[in-house]
Amino acid sequence: MLETSRTDVESKFLMTFDEDRFIKLPINSYMELLGIEPNTTQNSIINCMNNPKYRFVTAAVSRRQGKTYIANVIGQLVCLVPNSNVLLMSPNYSLSQISFDLQRSLIKHFDLEVLRDNAKDKVIELSNHSTIRMGSVNQVDSVVGRSYDLIIFDEAALVDGRDAFNVALRPTLDKDNSKALFISTPRGRNNWFAEFFQRGYSDQFPEWASVKATYHENPRISEEDIQEARKTMSEAEFNQEYMADFNTYEGQVWGFKHEECVSDLVELDTSKMDIFAGMDVGYKDPTAFCVIGYDWDADKYYLLDEYLDAERTTEQHAEKIRDLINKWAIDYIYIDSAAQQTRFDFAQNYDITTINAKKSVLDGIGHVAAICDNDKLIVDQRCKESLLSLDQYQWDPNPNLLKEKPVHNYASHMADALRYALYSFETTATTF
């Protein structure tokens, strides 16, 4: 099934636009020379990009739909206009290299003249002085400082690219008709890719459009292929990879149920609750802090508030946490036992008392999992970082590990704070 967020986007054929269209050269002729008849998904992506109304296009597409290929076809057509600049972004250089090699293949196919193809600088310059540059989220600083006509962000859901785009790359789209295309198979719903996808449905973001396509839009996939995939994949993995489902994420640590357990808690009476917090101390990584209330009568935990920030001084963190202590009358703060210097500084200089958290990782994860499985954790809808962590915290897929462990990524900091809080409170609260 195919879904487009804007009603003026056609999927059955390539639309015709006037001179304001983004792709200046005749794309129909180009596709014919390649011997390609675009499928409905590719038509939708091209039509979104060509429409002058939309500058930012998010495509959540199942595997084997040709999304990377059609994105690079668009990139090539842009570069055929003199003095144009295209950036190929991915979570890392290995993934970016796939698009970079595809560009080389298209250049060779059409026998285009190349002035330079510099592997070290990761740039191809055509004879018309257009450039195709390769970038990575991990090294985003290396591609800023110039203007781009088009940024293609492939496999966007595999990494937290929000800051990379908003802070570093968005300012490089400084031409009136410059655009960005984000393509990926979804990886859960509380991440930047899902957020950008939802913008395509919002009246607040009229320059955004979104496309979603399941395996049904791929005419080359057989029913036998689908049945084989169903046999060899978990239901979550199949829904993710073939149904472009934002609601599941293969490898999730916690089965948190958003529909049942996310609520507006602004009017919640916390006066009879025990209020406690978990804190994961970061240095280069973010410092995470979550505030939880426990209702003894209802046997439910309420995640009330949060704080997440990086590259702040101890004093700045202490100021924010002091505000939360005063706001919620926090009784206990469970902190990473490895952060003894922070514990000392908080107590000595800021009159903030903390307790060493229980740190057994797998036991703590299991404890939080049981709480989530029984719908005993209710999260305030404004706690975006906590919701992201509950969704994106995942097991390390490395098959050579001697025992399971979670991935250390952008979701793990708040997840650790949550684990410290819930597991430590359960095991120590009765001793106070």
Residues identified as active-site: 155
> What's the pLDDT score for residue 229?
84
Q: What is the pLDDT of residues 371-392, one digit of tens each?
A: 988 899 999 999 999 998 888 8
CATH class of 2-242: alpha beta
pTM value > 0.85? no
CATH class of 258-431: alpha beta
Mean predicted confidence (pLDDT) in 269-288 = 93
Tokens for 22?
Answer: 């983004």
Phi and psi for 392 in degrees, rounded to 5? Answer: -100, -10
Q: Looking at this protein, which amino acid is placed at residue 370?
A: A
> What's the pLDDT score for residue 230?
87
Closest CA to 78 of 9, 121, 128, 123: 128
Q: How would you class 220 by CB atoms within 10 Å of its CB: exposed for 0-12, middle for 13-18, buried for 19 or more?
A: exposed
Domain ranges of the chain: 2-242, 258-431
- Contacting residues for 221 by C-beta, under 8 A, at least 6 apart: 64, 215
- Contacting residues for 131 by C-beta, under 8 A, at least 6 apart: 79, 84, 85, 86, 123, 124, 125
Q: What is the pLDDT of residues 128-181, one digit of tens each?
A: 999 999 998 878 888 888 899 999 999 888 777 878 888 889 899 998 889 999
Return d(Cα 53, Cα 218) in angstroms, integer. 27
What angle do helix axes 412-428 and 361-373 make, rounded to 10 degrees? 90
Mean predicted confidence (pLDDT) in 274-299 = 93
